Amino acid sequence: MDLTTAIELCLSLPCAEETTPFGPDTLVYKTHGKVFAITSPENHPPFINLKCDPERSALLRDQYEGITPAYHMNKKHWNSVLLDGSIPSHTIAGLIRHSFDLIWNGLPRKIRESHTGEQGDSR
């Protein structure tokens, strides 16, 4: 998966928005004000930081060299995922969705219920 496709996937999720709170070189993807992905188009090779369940993070880091603890983030909960072709696209898509779901499921129930049906079977 390339960076453009990863960004499109992030923006396709309900209530997702692209922000630049750290300046124009860092793109931050949020839902209802909560961050679920961060990237910078200037990075080569490109990567995206995604939130992840700690146990799953450990397994992924063992399985893929391109998944490492996220720089400048809580390394227990965030991974940097290389977008250099070394990780299958379906795996990256699943990790983007997993990151979003972790944030979504932490939102107040009233917000989640107001968007029932937008997230598929989990909403």
pTM, to two decimals: 0.90
pLDDT < 50 positions in the chain = 119-123
Q: Which among 92, 5, 109 is positioned nearest to 49, based on CA atoms?
A: 92
What pLDDT, on a 0 to 100 scale, did the predictor assign at position 114? 81
**Model pLDDT, residue 111:** 85
pLDDT of residue 113: 80
Specify the CATH class of 3-122 in words.
alpha beta
Which pLDDT belongs to residue 121?
Answer: 35
Residue 111 is inside which H or E element, if any? helix 109-114
Q: What is the secondary structure of 19-83 as a DSSP string?
A: E-TT-TT-EEEEETTEEEEEE-TT-SS-EEEEE--HHHHHHHHHH-TTEEEPTTS-TTTEEEEE-
